[in-house]
Amino acid sequence: MQIHTAEFVISNSDVSKCPSEPIPEYAFIGRSNVGKSSLINMLTGRKQLAKTSGKPGKTQLINHFRINNRWFLVDLPGYGYARVSKKVKKTFQKFITDYFEKREQLVCAFVLIDIRHEPQNIDLEFMEWLGLNGIPFSIVFTKADKLKPKAAERNTQVYLAKMLEGAWEEAPPHFITSSSDGRGQEELLGYIDNINREVNSSR
């Protein structure tokens, strides 16, 4: 899939105010500083579509971007160690939960994981919550350029094996990406394109 248009639509903290258009929606979420904004910019080929920052917790709202006038890419606040007050963190964790529980247009979530690190409980628990709530998701491993290919593959397999030790009978789909060299862009966009085709054919 080629990205021809990518436009910012709205930022808000109220799910009821999200766009009402009945088109497929894909949410990107992960721990703070996982490289989410850089990944979104790489996928869309727009350097400044999503705002990047060296400070964790830059994204604090639900951000909708309309892609090719056919689907929405949603940039959600990160979870984890964002440098915001407990009150602010509690507020946006609540609307993240509301988003996943109430957003009917959502067809898939992408949970971003820094490929360099060992499995973190906060990520595993969040994915388990998605599973228990019947929300389809895939894992996107980021920053693959920071490791040699064999190390990246090894870390990926360790992560998926860790999931299978827990509540999962099978591992979810996964992608290995790098916003620096464009790795995984074609595979991830192709995956979204296939889901869009399935959604449209079922209507």
Cβ-contact 151, 186 below 8 angstroms: no
Residue 1 covered by a domain? no
Q: What is the CA radius of gyration of the chain?
A: 16
Q: How far apart are CA 202 and CA 22, in angstroms?
A: 13
Q: What predicted TM-score, i.e. pTM, was given to this entire model? A: 0.90
The phi, psi pair for 79, rounded to 5°, reads -120, 160
Cβ-contact 26, 74 below 8 angstroms: yes
DSSP characters over 116-167: TS---HHHHHHHHHHHHTT--EEEEEE-GGGS-HHHHHHHHHHHHHHHHHTT
Q: What is the mean pLDDT of each run of 10 residues along the chain (203 residues)?
A: 94 91 95 90 90 53 94 87 55 78 95 95 89 94 96 95 86 95 97 94 77
Residue 86 covered by a domain? yes
Residue 75 covered by a domain? yes
pLDDT of residue 43: 96
pLDDT of residue 93: 73
Q: How far apart are CA 148 and CA 144, in angstroms?
A: 8
pLDDT of residue 109: 97
Cβ-contact 88, 61 below 8 angstroms: no
pLDDT of residue 88: 53
Residue 195 covered by a domain? yes
| pLDDT tens-digit map of 71-105 | 999 999 877 655 555 665 565 577 788 899 999 99
Q: How far apart are CA 69 and CA 126, in angstroms?
A: 30
CATH of the domain at 176: 3.40.50.300
Q: How far apart are CA 165 and CA 49, in angstroms?
A: 38
pLDDT of residue 166: 76
Sign of CA dihedral 154, 38, 191, 127: positive
Residue 77 covered by a domain? yes
Residue-number span of the structural domain to which 133 is assigned: 6-201
| Alpha-carbon distance values, 126 to 9, 42, 49, 93, 120 (Å) | 27, 25, 26, 12, 10
Q: How far apart are CA 52 and CA 110, in angstroms?
A: 18
How many domains does the structure of the chain reveal?
1
pLDDT of residue 57: 45
pLDDT of residue 172: 93
pLDDT of residue 54: 46
pLDDT of residue 195: 96
pLDDT of residue 202: 78
pLDDT of residue 87: 60
Residue 119 covered by a domain? yes
pLDDT of residue 156: 96
Residue 37 covered by a domain? yes
